[in-house]
Amino acid sequence: MEPELVADEGHVLLWRPPEPVLAISSGPLGGGIGERRWVVNATVPLSYDRDDPEVHLREIADRIGVRGAGCGLLTGVDVRLVRHHRDAGVSAWVTTGIGDAPTWAAAEPTGETASTAGTINAVCLLPVRLADAALVNAVATVAEAKAQALVESGVPGTGTCTDATVLLCPTRGPVERYGGPRSAVGAPLARAVRAAVVAGLRPPGSSPLFGRR
């Protein structure tokens, strides 16, 4: 399954699995755990100030012609710069934007507002069905791998305050009980996410999945 690049008000990445998948998502549309039919990751202007992202994403879905239950993410990053990495059957697509204020997860609040927002959105496809607890564990694995990539790349933070993750897996088949970074699924997931984030931190033009047009 590869994402489609769709033109809307901004560019949109659209994943449409051939059949419904089990998803866990922290995004504003379709968050939580459940069966989903599609995922969108949509570029919005850096000046974006709508306070109804769920409604906005539903509007985008309607305009591009997807129906039913889905997951939606927003980002100020040009989604044409998405980076993809595959490892042992796991695929990770990541749009990486850190703006001018990457955040340490446990930092004390400063009251300052970043002038350029950043968002790291990860959409990952897993080859086997995960138990609900394993899906939650796998989301933590994505966060750990993302933080590792940022620290190794010299970024002073573990992420941004608007990062979002979507994990997709089959609805049927033997159930994997673990999603941590040393599990059969979590280990390649961690490697794939780390590689995609590192690639996304490189200058534009270094072989994104969709080049700028």
SS3 for the chain is: CCCEEEECCCEEEEECCCCCEEEEECCCECCEEEEECEEEEEECCCCCCCCCHHHHHHHHHHHHCCCCCEEEEEECCCHHHCEEEEECCEEEEEEECCCCCCECCCCCCCCCCCCCCCCEEEEEECCCEECHHHHHHHHHHHHHHHHHHHHHCCCCCCECCCCEEEEEECCCCCEECCCCCCCCCHHHHHHHHHHHHHHHCCCCCCCCCCCCC
Q: Mean pLDDT in the chain?
A: 93
Mean pLDDT along residues 141-152: 98
What's the pLDDT at 205? 57
Residue 118 has pLDDT above 90, yes or no: no
C-alpha–C-alpha distance, residues 136 and 133, integer Å = 5
Record the pTM: 0.93
What's the pLDDT at 203? 66
Q: What is the dihedral of CA 113, 142, 151, 13, to 10 degrees?
A: -60
Which pLDDT tens digit goes with each residue over 53-92?
999 999 999 999 999 999 999 999 999 999 999 999 999 9
Token duo for residue 64: 């591009």
Burial 72-87 (b: 16+ CB within 10 A, else e): bbbbbbbbbbbbbbeb
C-alpha–C-alpha distance, residues 77 and 125, integer Å = 21
Residue 212 has pLDDT above 60, yes or no: no
Which pLDDT tens digit goes with each residue over 1-36?
899 999 998 999 999 999 999 999 999 999 999 999
Quickly state the pLDDT bin for 202 (edges 50, 70, 90).
Answer: confident
